[in-house]
C-alpha cells in the first residue's frame, strides 16, 4: 500500500502550508503546477505562505492549460533542470494529475493542494492525461500529503462539486463490478478497499441536502469522501474500487463526444444505467444526483441520444481485461437504447 503521509483538511489553512511542508521534512525548492485561473486566485496567499521567514521555501511556478502527456514531460524536464526538490499540484484534476505524473517520472515528492472537489484524483495513485493510447488512468504515486482548504474549495464553480459527487456515487456500481469480476474471473477482491469506497459513496448519499445547498459542511463531506475514495484505490493497488462500467461509459463519451460533460457528471449518468443492469435501485441514485444538482440526462450535458447509445456499446470494449456488468449484459443497439430510455437518461 502507498498512502499519503498527511491529510490536512480545514478552513483558512493556506497560511499554514509552509509549516506543514516543513513538518513533512521537505527541503529545497518547490515547483508549483497550476492552471492560469487558479494561479490568479491562489498565488498571493500561497506565495505569502512560502515566503514565511520561519517556514519558507524557494519556489517557481509553471502554468498548464491541458492535462497531457507532453505537459507532464515538460514539467518533468523543468523540475530536473531547475533542481526542484518537490512538486506541488494546485487546482483541479488537470493540474494535480500533471504534477502527480511529472513527480512520478522525476522520482520527486508530490503534494496535492486541491482548489475544487471534482474527482478522487486529489488523493489516488492514478493520473488521467491526454496523449496516451488508452483513455483511462495510469499508475503513478499518491501524493505524500494533501492540503485541502474548504474555504477555497467551496468558492469554486458549483458544477465542479456536483461532478465530484457523481464520481463518488459511481463507487456503488464500481464495487459491484469488482465483486462480479472476482466471481466470474477469480480476480482479486479487497473487502476493506471496497468497503472504504462504498462508505465514500454512502456519505454523499446521506448528505445530499447539505451538499445541494452548498453548505460548508456539505462541501467538507465531499472533500473527505473524495480523499477516502482515492485512498481506497491506493489500498487496492488498482482503480477497481473506484472505477467500473460507469467510468468506461464516461471514457467512451469522451472519445465519441469530447467536451460534453465533466468526467464526474458522465460517471454519475453512467451509474444510473449501470445500477439498473446490476439490479440496484437506480431511481434512488438518480434522485440523489438531482438533489445535489448533478445532471441525470444526456440533454443536460448537451449529448445526443445516439452518442449515449454508441458510448454504451463502446464502453465494454475499452478495457477487455476488466470484467464488468457490460460483459454480462452484452448490449445491442436496441437494448442499449432501451436501457438509456428506461433510466430516463434519454
279 found inside a domain: yes
Last residue of a domain, one of 88, 123, 154: 154
- Under 8 Å between Cβ of 65 and 80: no
Residues 175 and 303 in one domain: yes
175 found inside a domain: yes
CATH at 269? 1.20.1090.10
Residue 305 scores a pLDDT above 90: yes
Residues 231 and 272 in one domain: yes
Residues 129 and 203 in one domain: no
199 found inside a domain: yes
Residue 170 scores a pLDDT above 90: yes
Residues 180 and 33 in one domain: no
CATH at 83? 3.40.50.1970
61 found inside a domain: yes
163 found inside a domain: yes
Residues 150 and 170 in one domain: no
Residue 136 scores a pLDDT above 80: no
1 found inside a domain: no
CA–CA distance, 289 with 115 (Å, rounded to integer): 22
Residues 140 and 214 in one domain: no
Lowest mean pLDDT among 130-139, 165-174, 243-252, 255-264: 130-139
241 found inside a domain: yes
Last residue of a domain, one of 127, 154, 181: 154
DSSP β-ladder status, 86-91 and 110-114 = parallel
Last residue of a domain, one of 110, 138, 154: 154
Three-class HEC string of 106-134? HCCCEEEEECCCCCHHHCCCEECCECCCC
Task: Give the per-residue pLDDT at 65.
Answer: 84
Residues 96 and 229 in one domain: no
Residues 28 and 171 in one domain: no
Q: What strand order describes the sheet that includes 86-91? A: 6-10, 145-149, 110-114, 86-91, 29-34, 58-63
pTM confidence score: 0.93
Cα distances (Å, whole numbers) of residue 203 to 101, 168, 223 = 29, 9, 11
Residues 302 and 254 in one domain: yes
Domain hosting 168: range is: 158-342
Residues 69 and 176 in one domain: no
Structural domains of the chain, count: 2
Helices of type H across the chain:
17-23, 36-50, 69-81, 93-106, 150-154, 158-169, 171-185, 191-206, 208-212, 216-236, 245-256, 263-278, 282-292, 305-315, 325-329, 333-342
Residue 188 scores a pLDDT above 80: yes
Residues 142 and 173 in one domain: no
Residue 116 scores a pLDDT above 90: yes
Task: Give the per-residue pLDDT at 132.
Answer: 63
Average pLDDT, the chain: 94
Residues 150 and 260 in one domain: no
Residue 3 binned pLDDT confidence (cut-offs 50, 70, 90): confident
Q: What pLDDT digit, counting tens, does each position of 27-83 carry?
A: 999 999 999 999 999 999 999 999 988 888 999 999 998 888 889 999 999 999 999
Amino acid at each position: 500500500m502507498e498512502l499519503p503521509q498527511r491529510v490536512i483538511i480545514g478552513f483558512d489553512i493556506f497560511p499554514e502550508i509552509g509549516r506543514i511542508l516543513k513538518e513533512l521534512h521537505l527541503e529545497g525548492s518547490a515547483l508549483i503546477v497550476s492552471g492560469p485561473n487558479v494561479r490568479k486566485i491562489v498565488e498571493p496567499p500561497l506565495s505569502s505562505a512560502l515566503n514565511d521567514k520561519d517556514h519558507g521555501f524557494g519556489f517557481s511556478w509553471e502554468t498548464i492549460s491541458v492535462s497531457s502527456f507532453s505537459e507532464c514531460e515538460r514539467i518533468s524536464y523543468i523540475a530536473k533542470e531547475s533542481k526542484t526538490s518537490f512538486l506541488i499540484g494546485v487546482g483541479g484534476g488537470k493540474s494535480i494529475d500533471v504534477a502527480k505524473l511529472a513527480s512520478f517520472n522525476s522520482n520527486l515528492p508530490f503534494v496535492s493542494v486541491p482548489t475544487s472537489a471534482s474527482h478522487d484524483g486529489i488523493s489516488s495513485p492514478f493520473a488521467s492525461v491526454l496523449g496516451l493510447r488508452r483513455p483511462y488512468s495510469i499508475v503513478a504515486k499518491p501524493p505524500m500529503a494533501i492540503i485541502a482548504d474548504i474555504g477555497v474549495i467551496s468558492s469554486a464553480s458549483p458544477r465542479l462539486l456536483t461532478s465530484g459527487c457523481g464520481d463518488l456515487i459511481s463507487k456503488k456500481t464500481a464495487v459491484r463490478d469488482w465483486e462480479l469480476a472476482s466471481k466470474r474471473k477469480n480476480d482479486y477482491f479487497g473487502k476493506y478497499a471496497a468497503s472504504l469506497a462504498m462508505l465514500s459513496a454512502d456519505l454523499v448519499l446521506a448528505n445530499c441536502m447539505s451538499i445541494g445547498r452548498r453548505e460548508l459542511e456539505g462541501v467538507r463531506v465531499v472533500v473527505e469522501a473524495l480523499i477516502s475514495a482515492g485512498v481506497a484505490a491506493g489500498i487496492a493497488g488498482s482503480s477497481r474500487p473506484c472505477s467500473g462500467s460507469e467510468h468506461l461509459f464516461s471514457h467512451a463519451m469522451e472519445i465519441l463526444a469530447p467536451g460534453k460533460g465533466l468526467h464526474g457528471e458522465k460517471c454519475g449518468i453512467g451509474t444510473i444505467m449501470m445500477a439498473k443492469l446490476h439490479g440496484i435501485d437506480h431511481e434512488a441514485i438518480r434522485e440523489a444526483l438531482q438533489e445535489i444538482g448533478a445532471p441525470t440526462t444526456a440533454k443536460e450535458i448537451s449529448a445526443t441520444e445516439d452518442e449515449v447509445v454508441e458510448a454504451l456499446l463502446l464502453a465494454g470494449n475499452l478495457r477487455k481485461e476488466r470484467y464488468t456488468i457490460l460483459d454480462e449484459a452484452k448490449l445491442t443497439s436496441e437494448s442499449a437504447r432501451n436501457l438509456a430510455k428506461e433510466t430516463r437518461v434519454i
